Amino acid sequence: MNLSPHSSAPPRFDLLQEEFAACPYPVYQNLREEHSVHYDELTHLWLVSRYEDVRRVLLDPESFRNDNTLDAVTRLRMPSLRALARADFALPPALFNNSEESHTGLRALSLRLLSSARVRSALPDIERIVSEELDCLEAELARAGQADISRTLARSVPIRVLLHVLGIDGAPGVDTLYDWTAASIELFWGRPDPAKQPALADEAADFYRWLTDTVQRDDVPEGSVLAALRRHRLPDGTPLATEQAASVLYTMLVAGHATTGQFVCSAFLRALQDEGTWQQLADEPGLIPAWSEEVLRRDAPLTAWRRVASRPVTLGGVDLPEGAELLLLLTSTGSDPEVFTEPEKLCPARDNVRGHLTFGIGLHRCPGAELARAEVQTVLRQAVRRLPDLRWAGPPRPPYLTSLAFRAPSQVTVAREGRGS
């Protein structure tokens, strides 16, 4: 088997180290130029780094299935497995991990719930929620002198908006849902210390219990995701089992608010650290849609996604066997100079500003893309208007979330000019 078309040694890196998460671009450049399809010994995944190769994989779901998307990255130890088993935790094929016939109908269900028309109708409520959360942020800034966007706007807005759009009432508080999701991301997509695994598994199990209780509720609001799941029928005419409905809701909630919150964090970091950008957005709010697309391109919140080869295939000059597990480096594709001129710069005026692959492409493109755009643009538009004197108050390089699939600063400290440390 031809393992690599290149002779130079690959770079040394660890995808799950904070140092890599904080600045992955040099590694991505080396991979694109010298090792575009590279076997990573630490994760046992084939890393695909060039735009055209990733695009090819995403557009060929027959050859590259998504069955491994939700598999745990790190081996779970027995106490964690017991905690999950007590909750009957299971994620059967639903949306992101489904290459079966049932995917078509479930995807159609999610597209209806998150359609452009539904997002447009929700805009007044999105504006209201953002305004309320900005009130809280302003109060925190006045009281403490500074605030952390990752613990305020980026946490509360996406959860509140998603619950509203999906029609879920009676949910636990924002902090509880956030903690459940964060624990699930760290447990399944990170590399937690073995001593921490049981606590994370307990959180994930509590999350799953709430999901299964929720999809089995008797009082299902009409027009909600719960009503849609209740009415849905599989290709053989049978209704969704509880674990299938819970799996759909799990993926919609995790992907729907976690990545949007991370998008908010990266946007604030960029706007406040890049000299003059915050003021420019305040002066020219019409730039916000295109500028936020550039943040998505360069700093994708969903930094990578997995696939598995269903047959032997050659990709980027490398022969891959059936069963080869791939990691598609979405953030790397956004910095591919073959597609984006001067990719290190955020250029809202570039012709292909929506040409990035952050939301995917083809059969498994993210159904919540337009909702995420609407939320982040609303947050930025209101924030630059109400807080034109906002400034960066954190370290030059803040800490970053370490995960195989998710990337964002985990602390985004801000203050107002003349206030805060």
DSSP string, 405-419: SB--BS--EEEETT-
Question: Can you tell me the mean pLDDT for 75-102?
Answer: 92
Percentage of the chain modeled with pLDDT above 90: 89
Asked whether residue 46 is assigned to any structural domain, the reply reads: yes
Contacts of 395 (CB under 8 A, 6+ apart): none
Q: Which residue has the tokens 């009432």?
A: 169
Closest of 219, 360, 376, 344 to residue 274, by C-alpha = 344
Please check the confidence at residue 272 and state whether its pLDDT lies above 60. yes
Q: What is the pLDDT of residue 8?
A: 67
At 117, list the tokens.
């028309």
Q: What is the pLDDT of residue 295?
A: 97
Inter-CA distances, 146 with 16, 137, 256, Å:
30, 9, 28
For 88-97, 121-130, 143-152, 324-333, which range has the lowest pLDDT when averaged over its residues?
A: 88-97
Asked whether residue 144 is assigned to any structural domain, the reply reads: yes
Asked whether residue 13 is assigned to any structural domain, the reply reads: no
Q: What is the pLDDT of residue 418?
A: 76
Asked whether residue 202 is assigned to any structural domain, the reply reads: yes
The pTM (predicted TM-score) of the whole model is: 0.93
Please check the confidence at residue 170 and state whether its pLDDT lies above 90. no
| Distance (Å, whole) CA 171 – CA 163 | 8
Count of structural domains, the chain: 1
Q: What is the pLDDT of residue 419?
A: 67
Using DSSP, state whether 294 is helix, strand or coil: helix
Q: Is 40 exposed, middle or buried (0-12, 13-18, 19+ CB in 10 A)?
A: middle
Taking the CA of residue 204 as centre, how many other CA atoms within 13 Å lie in the half-sphere pointing to its CB? 30
| Mean pLDDT score of the chain | 94
Asked whether residue 11 is assigned to any structural domain, the reply reads: no
The model's pLDDT over 50-68, given as tens digits with 9 standing for 90+, comes to: 999 999 999 999 999 999 9
| Distance (Å, whole) CA 138 – CA 134 | 6
- Bigger pLDDT: 364 or 286? 286
Amino acid at 129: I
Asked whether residue 222 is assigned to any structural domain, the reply reads: yes
At 76, list the tokens.
């779970």
Assign 96 a pLDDT band (cuts: 50, 70, 90). Answer: confident
Inter-CA distances, 211 with 76, 103, 183, 248, 261, Å:
22, 20, 15, 10, 21
- Measured over the CA atoms of residue 157, residue 333, residue 31 and residue 59, the dihedral's sign is positive
125: domain CATH number is 1.10.630.10
Question: Can you tell me the mean pLDDT for 395-421?
Answer: 90
Q: Which residue has the tokens 């994760």?
A: 43
Closest of 171, 136, 129, 169 to residue 151, by C-alpha = 136
Q: What is the pLDDT of residue 421?
A: 59
Contact 164/416 with Cβ under 8 angstroms?
A: no
Please check the confidence at residue 328 and state whether its pLDDT lies above 60. yes
Question: Can you tell me the mean pLDDT for 368-387?
Answer: 97
Inter-CA distances, 168 with 133, 221, 314, Å:
19, 8, 45
Q: Which contacts qualify for 371-375: CB closer than 8 Å, 24 or more apart?
A: 371/114, 371/119, 371/122, 371/161, 371/162, 371/165, 371/256, 371/260, 372/259, 372/260, 372/263, 373/289, 373/292, 374/119, 374/122, 374/123, 374/126, 375/126, 375/130, 375/157, 375/158, 375/161, 375/260, 375/264
- Domain span including residue 195: 18-416
At 122, list the tokens.
């929700």
Assign 11 a pLDDT band (cuts: 50, 70, 90). Answer: confident
Percentage of the chain modeled with pLDDT above 70: 97
| Distance (Å, whole) CA 170 – CA 162 | 13
Asked whether residue 4 is assigned to any structural domain, the reply reads: no
At 65, list the tokens.
């299935």
Please check the confidence at residue 5 and state whether its pLDDT lies above 70. no
Q: What is the pLDDT of residue 192?
A: 92
Assign 6 a pLDDT band (cuts: 50, 70, 90). Answer: very low
| Distance (Å, whole) CA 261 – CA 155 | 6
Asked whether residue 104 is assigned to any structural domain, the reply reads: yes
